[in-house]
Structure 1
């Protein structure tokens, strides 16, 4: 499988970009890999890059986007930070990826058993991590179905907060980046959310 060129990237639709991610995750779950020559892809991307997707995911060592979507060099912009939270630098990076480079899909990907979400649910405070975890607090506040055991030891509460946290990130992207919001309105970009299951490797995409 060859890397994307300017031509293939431009002809790709947002819907097709989503299908590529879904098919890649299906291969991953079934322990299959597309046939790639990574050294050839190094050569093919040496003069430029034309990725089709931008993915914001957690820094968790189990959630490498290139692996779980079976993608190669030059295929995706991968932005990773604990708890897949947002800040201005990440938004700026997303604007570069979508507007300047032309990726067709923007995925916010949470994952089960997320240490950052668990830490936030347990109200952990530790140095600079404290401020990062507080970005997850709004998702905890919006989780109203759990009436007891509202901490990191309750997997149901943690999973609910994880999903809400993804959706809040998507809402914030649309609110704080008119550039990205306009691309979505013009149907040049699809913004989606999903959760990766660390137990089985499957990504569940939110309905779009």
Structure 2
């Protein structure tokens, strides 16, 4: 790995350079995948030197993880809002479900990049992603659901981690499969993510058994 001298004269201010590097890396990783992207290509796209890139990020993998963490920032903000927003927990869960799905759909390239990497390199990437990218958001979501249980807003006996997995997993499945689902004659919500989220939350909150 190239070593960078501490006295390196940066061609741009640090915040500006970092933002350009992250933006360039995000686009290139999303377009071609991690393995196909070189640090030279990132530097060229960002309009900085390769040494400048290594000045801010010690390796391509460190830059990659930072791109993913930055992409997950919006989800973290949505979870914070779920925990501290106004309204009942049920109302906030419904809003969170829609915002989370919207976030996945709007950042489609990054969503596909993450899924592709996990499918191809799950055993290698799984622990790294859990500890450095997604873990804090997931733990925060579980903690909010557990607090809701303690307050009597959610049924006791449900594993909060299982509920968090269902919430997130249902949105990921919709993103992955909607191009197939749209061709099923009984499916009418592939172009209506808001409707999908509403029906999903109705099932999760009310169940599938008839009321006694």
Please state which structure has a larger fraction of its residues in helix.
2
Please state which structure has a larger fraction of its residues in strand.
1
TM, length-normalised to structure 1: 0.31
